[in-house]
Chain A
Amino acid sequence: MKFGVIIFPGSNCDHDAYYTVRAVLEQPVTFLWHESHDLENCDVVIVPGGFAYGDYLRTGAIARFSPVMESVARFAAGGGLVMGICNGFQILCEAGLLPGALLRNAGLKYISKPVQVRVESADTPFTNACRKGEVLTIPIGHMEGNYFCDEPTLQALQREERIVFRYVENPNGSLDNIAGISNPGRNVLGMMPHPERASEALLGSSEGFKVFQSLLGAAVAR
């Protein structure tokens, strides 16, 4: 199963996602440059964390215009697996691949700490190795993680069980404690916590690794 990790100017968790796939999951992985349309036949595209374009206009606002994102949109429309982590989640929202937007944290400060998230839907290619209701400890690190969407969108997310992760204790004011959501096709995931930061016991938790393991399971199932 081949993974691609996008590099935008200002991405800074690109190497982390790359390392986790290559060294921990032991799967082939390549970097995808933002100016290229070529997704190099990847089975999974990871939109990594960081500060694409400095987040200077809005988080993710400029990155969504990159050539690579046109290809990602097509790839996702065809059922391709796309995972946005942190800044990647923000970019996927800006690009319209996921609904809603991420606002400034309610406390107005950057928050970096491990948090508990509950798996609300195990019925996705990103969580099929988890049990529904399982609680995972995964670090967050963001200034804009306060999920927001309008009421009809929220109802749709709830009804279709597309809220994939909820915070056990809300750290940032996020609507309905949302930590991660999927698109209607369930092949696009956006999550604020960083599963690649919790994929090795040496770093304090390996519970985030289940997200990567799920992707392998999804490939087998296909």
Chain B
Amino acid sequence: MPSSPDILQAITPDLIQEHGLSTEEYQRILKWLGREPTITELGIFSVMWSEHCSYKSSRVHLKRLPTHSRRVVQGPGENAGIIDIGDGWACAFKIESHNHPSFIEPFQGAATGVGGILRDIFTMGARPVAIMDSLRFGPITSGADQATIRRNHSILDGVVSGIASYGNCFGVPNVGGETKFEPCYSQNPLVNAFALGLVRRDEIYYARAAGEGNPVIYVGAKTGRDGIHGCTMASEEFSEASEEKRPNVQVGDPFLEKLLLEACLEAMRTGAVVGIQDMGAAGLTCSTCEMGGRGNVGIEIELDRVPQRETGMTPYEIMLSESQERMLLVAEKGREDEVFRVFEKWGLDAVIVGRVTPDSKMRVLEHGRVVAEIPNAALTDDAPLYRRPMERWKPPVEREMPASIRLGQTSDLTANLKRLLASSNICCKRWVHEQYDSMVQINTVQGPGREAGVIRVKGTKRGLAMALDGNGRWCWLDPRLGAMHAVAESARKVACTGATPVAATNCLNFGNPEKPQIMWQFAQVIDGMTRACEELEIPITGGNVSFYNETLGEGIYPTPVVGVVGVIDEVEKTASFEFRGPGRSVVLLRGAEPGDATDAEAEFGSSEYAKEIFGAVWGFPPALELEKEAALQKCIVELIQQGLAESAHDCSDGGLAVALAESAFLNGVGARIELVSSGLAPEFLLFGEDASRILISCAREHVGRIQKLGVECGIAADVLGETVPENIEILVDGRPVVAAAVAELKQAWAGALERALRVEAAEEVAPSVLERS
């Protein structure tokens, strides 16, 4: 029974409301405790029952996702998912959002997002070997007022610098990801950080306390007042006042985290560590009750022993602080010194703050007096669970192509291709990824700007491929189908490197779940994702849900982002997307037959072309036949492993014409292809975004074998033309519709982001010389 002066603070209805707790939730607290909570306990319940920590609105739906396969070692519920990749190795990976903090303070918000996901990986004993980011911002060229565009520039710049600063210093390569722009992200940018680490199959650590009397050790940075109620903030809509929430944002220290990584992995090697968890959202509170909860034991901590950066901190503040770069670990009793020696070597604080108890409770003491005592179950497994009401919703768009849209007439398709290549969603993202160290650890076989990141696994012949993908606009038009596409496209990108997609992690970014339409979108997305993951045999091993991405009632598109990981047995055989030289055949692998003109018109409204050239959105995302998609992916992996395909490019954003141009850019090798219209407008053929298509190039003599394999897999492999030096030419029914030099198209694509941000392209930086005075 708590007996601190803390209890003197009266728990008023206002206080309960300020903590984001409903009246019913407060009644549950009274029932759990059998008394009024102390202010510290109220704070603890508030953070643990926040949407961010409890998944109270999403849990009932998330259960539907497939989470098992023969490779899955650890599914959802731990710090990260883990899969077996062979040769005694496993990989831990996860994606997590840091959206709200990145809006309030882009640099630190994004940096600590990277820091948090890295800790999730290395607490499992895995050394992080790759990161990627999925970023979404408001418009940076047009489509908003000047003030908004300027602010979007500064958010983009801050987020990218923050990611760079943290990842580069920590020393983990950034191998890919995506950067997209839509007006709905102006007030709610999305920053989803993915990390992947390698661990020996028999050296995995879990966030589980065990062994009565074992010491609980606090390691890493000292606790300050940063980020108090960060996760309740992540569970609220934004208002004008949010800008004043700046003190809530934590500041990251990547150098300290690097030391923490080395020290934690070294401490684990001593064998004296029983369990370990990082202090992320809800800090000391979350790590204490979750580690106890998973191990069916209790943890008692004495706050006087917690290293503190500031003076006069109350129990409430210490328990709720979200200071970064801290870990809680349970060591084997009597072997504490082995752990201490390691942390001392790396110059880090490590102190015993408590012990494991047998009673499945979290007990917090200050000066020896109890200030909080709560059953673990109340904060974890038995936290509130809601089946929130749902209501079918239709986007406010036409489902048919507007009559004002004219196709196949006089438009200059070469000029439109250039416009599309220069559009912010399709243009080269070099300005972003050249700020990230993509080579450190010398494993990077394919870095950013490719279909997927590919790293080798040292000491084996294997490689791992990974890609992030999401399409908010498609999910807005049809959440179920859009989510299926996110899974399919992310997996397709991985398959285009020659790797077999084997598992996935998801980051689900949505608006306010208390709105029935939003909840319906969420449920639809989970349904679509479930279907696609089952059909493509990709279990979801973990992830993160981010609700309340709304400012002043304006929500984002429902934006599920999927990170797929693939395994390639012989990394030497991996393929990339660029044409290697002239004289190769250009072949389109196609899972499904194209639809008729009516389908094409309705689906064209979801394309980048419609958005960019017509400034309009209508219709539906493209149809997707998952069986055909699975067949296509199996086929491309086989073609690459047999050495038949020299390059492979997923046909998606911007359609076939953009895929062709991007394949040409890296080596300046063009192509001449001929298409048959079958009565469709040339815009559909060139820029339509039909699903399940991959553009490959191959030696002419391999065409026969490729087509034979295509037949065996049940997919079409049509020869479109061949690669040529320097030019891109596209003919429809024998009539040229696009003709341009590769260099000319590349110029439109390559510097577009720099031009939008009005920064000089890197090579134009003048050498600084002595200012001779």
Contacts and interface: CB of A to CB of B under 8 A. Distances in A.
Direct contact between the two chains A and B in their complex (CB within 8 A): yes
B456 interface: yes
A56 B433 CA distance: 23
A203 B767 contact: no
Can you list the 3 inter-chain pairs with the closest CB atoms, starting with the nearest? A12-B171, A54-B255, A173-B768
A132 interface: no
B168 A203 contact: no
Given A12-B169, A54-B254, A110-B437, 15 more contacts: A10-B255, A12-B440, A19-B442, A51-B169, A54-B169, A55-B169, A109-B161, A110-B164, A112-B437, A112-B438, A113-B434, A141-B437, A151-B770, A175-B770, A202-B456
A170 B767 contact: yes
26 contacts: A9-B347, A10-B169, A10-B255, A12-B440, A16-B442, A19-B442, A23-B458, A50-B171, A106-B766, A106-B767, A109-B434, A110-B168, A110-B435, A112-B437, A112-B439, A113-B434, A143-B168, A150-B770, A173-B766, A175-B767, A175-B768, A175-B769, A194-B439, A197-B440, A200-B442, A203-B445
Contacts of A13: 171, 440
Contacts of A103: 768
A9 B171 CA distance: 12
Interface in B622-664: none
A111 interface: yes
B346 A9 contact: yes
Given A9-B346, A15-B441, A146 B763 contact: no
B442 A9 contact: no
A196 B442 contact: yes
A113 B458 CA distance: 22
Interface centre among A56, A143, A177 (most CB of B within 10 A): A143
A133 interface: no
Contacts of B161: 109
Interface string B380-411: 00000000000000000000000000000000
B229 to A, nearest CB: 28
A169 interface: yes
Interface string A94-130: 0000000001011101111100000000000000000
Contacts of A150: 770
Which range holds the interface residue count of chain A? 35 or more
Contacts of B768: 103, 106, 146, 173, 175
Interface in B450-492: 456, 458
Interface string B157-189: 000010011001111000000000000000000
B338 to A, nearest CB: 18
B762 interface: yes
A49 B772 CA distance: 32
B509 interface: no
A78 B571 CA distance: 44
A60 interface: no
Contacts of A50: 171
B259 A9 contact: yes
A90 interface: no
Interface in B425-441: 433-441
Contacts of A143: 168
B258 interface: yes
Contacts of A56: 255
A107 B442 contact: no
A9 B435 CA distance: 23
A153 B652 CA distance: 55
B449 to A, nearest CB: 10
A203 B346 CA distance: 31
Interface string B739-773: 00000000000000000000010110111111010
B574 to A, nearest CB: 9
B593 interface: no
A174 interface: yes
Contacts of A170: 765, 767
A16 B441 contact: yes
B359 interface: no
A139 interface: yes
B572 interface: yes
Contacts of A19: 442, 458
Contacts of B769: 175
Interface in B222-275: 253-256, 258-259
B444 interface: yes
Nearest to B769: A175
Contacts of A171: 762-763, 765
B439 A203 contact: yes
Interface string A153-187: 00000000000000001111111010000000000
A137 interface: no
B437 A54 contact: no
Contacts of A51: 168-169, 171, 254-255, 258
A139 B259 contact: no
A113 B173 CA distance: 12
Contacts of A204: 445
Interface centre among B255, B259, B433, B441 (most CB of A within 10 A): B255
Contacts of A75: none
Nearest to B170: A12
B270 to A, nearest CB: 17
B211 to A, nearest CB: 32
Interface string A19-42: 110010000000000000000000
A115 to B, nearest CB: 10
Interface centre among A15, A103, A110, A177 (most CB of B within 10 A): A110
Contacts of B436: 110, 112
A185 B763 CA distance: 34
B665 to A, nearest CB: 15
A113 B763 CA distance: 12
Contacts of B256: 54
A112 B435 contact: yes
A107 B169 contact: no
Nearest to B448: A112
Nearest to B438: A112
Contact of B434 (A111, A194, A203): A111
A139 B439 contact: yes
Nearest to B446: A204
B758 to A, nearest CB: 14
Contacts of A110: 164-165, 168, 435-437
